[in-house]
Amino acid sequence: MPKLWAVWSEADPPSGARSLNLLADKFNQLGVVVDPQLFELALTHRSYAYENGGIPTNERLEFLGDAVLQIIVTEYLYLTYPDLPEGKLAKLRAAVVSSAALAEVARELKLGKLIKLGKGEIATKGDNKTSILADALEAVIGAVFLSGGMTAAEKFVSDLTVPKVKAAAEMGARLDPKTELQELAATVNLLVSYRISESGPDHKKVFSAEALVGDQVYGRGVGTSKRAAEQQAAAEAVESFRA
């Protein structure tokens, strides 16, 4: 039985034994050791915490993991593509660390089956939601960093993202919507801004975003995170702006 099982009781283990074995094998191949309690925390969604007495969630680890991911990918791009200007490096990074890209990696790792979710999220297939998967993967990166330092984090992140970087470079690193909107707005000397509102209970927030170019609203979006709502609003704004 993998050591990562240690913190789950046998009466209530994660539903995905095969998923856990897959991730444990990945850690073993890379020589990465992850603290089991940090690993469990990384996979504890706020909806589960809310239904179980307000226990700690993975949000702080996600915050840390996001920063670790950014610096590792940025350093890799800087060293690997010495001739690329800052703008193109930024586009490559955005293509690799976007929620969509991270969720794709999480699905490859079958991470969704391991995430502890509340009943509401389970009912709405939260284990396959892009925002939940992306956030959990960032939290796992944070757990790896705290367990083994930057060396372990670099091994894990590089293994997951280098193929994505190469694919993005070969495809020309299509811009994420927010970056593309900023570049379009710059052609007419206008700034992009976002108006955010939120609704719903703390464990199931829904965010609404409006994307403005200058003082005009060009797009609207809704998501389970501010980032997701802004991305959706930006994508609609790009289409409107080009029309």
3-state secondary structure 109-149: CCHHHHCECCHHHHHCCHHHCHHHHHHHHHHHHHHHHHHHH
Annotation says 66 is catalytic: yes
pTM score: 0.67
Q: Walk across the sheet containing 206-213 and list its strands.
A: 192-199, 206-213, 216-223
- Tell me which fold the domain 3-170 belongs to: Ribonuclease iii, N-terminal Endonuclease Domain; Chain A (1.10.1520)
pLDDT digits 0-9 by tens, 94-136: 888 888 888 888 998 888 888 999 998 989 888 888 889 999 9
Q: Say how far apart CA 191 and CA 143 lie, in whole Å.
A: 37
What CATH number labels 177-242?
A: 3.30.160.20
Residue type, 243: A
| pLDDT for the residue numbered 110 | 87
Catalytic residue, chosen from 62, 138, 154, 180, is 138
Which pLDDT tens digit goes with each residue over 196-224?
Answer: 999 988 888 899 999 999 999 999 999 88
What average pLDDT score do residues 34-41 get?
90
Tokens of 151: 């060396």
Does the annotation mark 138 as catalytic? yes
Q: Among the options 35, 40, 62, 66, which is catalytic?
A: 66
CA distance 114 to 45: 11
Round to whole Å and give the CA distance between 43 and 60. Answer: 12
Spell out the domain ranges in the chain. Answer: 3-170, 177-242
- Measured CA to CA, the distance from residue 28 to residue 62 in angstroms comes to 22
Amino acid letter, residue 146? L
Average confidence score pLDDT of the chain: 84
